[in-house]
Amino acid sequence: MYRGRLKRDLDDWVKRGLIDQGTAGRLLDDVDRRGSSFSIGGILSMFAAVLIAASLLMLVAANWELIPRLVRVAGIIGLIWIFHIVALVARSGGADRIAAGALVLGSAAFGGAIALIGQLYHLSGDTFSAMFLWFVVTAVSAALFRSGALTVVAGALLLVTFGGGFDSFGWDIGSHGLWAWWPPFGAATVFGLAHWTGANRAKHFGYILLLTWIWWMTILDRAEIYALGVAIAATIIFLALTVPRSPLAALHRRLGASGSFYALLLALSGFAYVQGNALDAASIAILGVVILGLSIAAIALDGRDNGSVRFLAYGAFAAEVLYLSYETIDSILGTSAFFLLAGLVVAVLAFIVIRLEKRFSRPAAEVKS
pLDDT tens-place string over residues 151-191? 999 999 999 999 888 888 888 887 888 888 899 999 999 99
User: Rounded to whole angstroms, how far apart are CA atoms 359 and 354?
Assistant: 9
| Cα 117 versus chain centre, distance | 33
How many degrees, rounded to 5, is the angle at CA 360 between CA 357 and CA 366? 145
pLDDT in the model for residue 368: 40
Q: Domain for residue 57, yes or no?
A: no
pLDDT in the model for residue 157: 92
Q: Domain for residue 98, yes or no?
A: no
| Cα 26 versus chain centre, distance | 35
Span 334-361, average pLDDT: 63
Q: Domain for residue 8, yes or no?
A: yes
pLDDT for 81 beyond 80: yes
Q: Domain for residue 105, yes or no?
A: no
In terms of average pLDDT, the best of 71-75, 214-218, 260-264, 300-304 is 260-264
* Residue burial 58-80, b: 16+ Cβ < 10 Å; e: rest: eebeeeeeeeeeeebeeebeebb
User: Rounded to whole angstroms, how far apart are CA atoms 216 and 237?
Assistant: 20
pLDDT for 367 beyond 50: no
At 232, is the pLDDT very low, low, confident or very high (cuts 50, 70, 90)?
A: very high
Please state which of the ranges 99-108, 174-183, 333-342 shows the lowest mean pLDDT: 333-342
Q: Domain for residue 48, yes or no?
A: no
pTM of the model: 0.73
User: Rounded to whole angstroms, how far apart are CA atoms 70 and 42?
Assistant: 36
Q: How many CB atoms lie within 10 A of CB 22?
A: 9
Q: Which of 122, 47, 109, 119 is nearest to 82 (CA)?
A: 109
CA dihedral 324, 326, 328, 331 (to 10 degrees): 140
At 358, is the pLDDT very low, low, confident or very high (cuts 50, 70, 90)?
A: low
pLDDT in the model for residue 369: 34
DSSP SS3 for 233: helix
pLDDT in the model for residue 336: 66
The whole-chain average pLDDT of the chain stands at 78
At 283, is the pLDDT very low, low, confident or very high (cuts 50, 70, 90)?
A: confident
Q: Domain for residue 68, yes or no?
A: no
DSSP SS3 for 124: coil
Q: Domain for residue 109, yes or no?
A: no
pLDDT in the model for residue 349: 61
Span 237-264, average pLDDT: 84
pLDDT for 231 beyond 50: yes
Question: What is the domain range of residue 244?
Answer: 222-364
Please state which of the ranges 83-87, 159-163, 220-224, 280-284 shows the lowest mean pLDDT: 220-224
Q: Domain for residue 283, yes or no?
A: yes
Residues with Cβ within 8 Å of 308's Cβ and at least 6 positions away in sequence, in order, are 257, 258, 261
Q: Specify the amino acid at residue 8.
A: R
Number of domains in the chain: 2
Q: Note whether 145 and 89 are within 8 A (CB).
A: no
- 126: alpha, beta or left? (left if phi > 0; alpha if psi -120 to 50): beta
In terms of average pLDDT, the best of 48-52, 82-86, 139-143 is 139-143
User: Rounded to whole angstroms, how far apart are CA atoms 3 and 20?
Assistant: 18
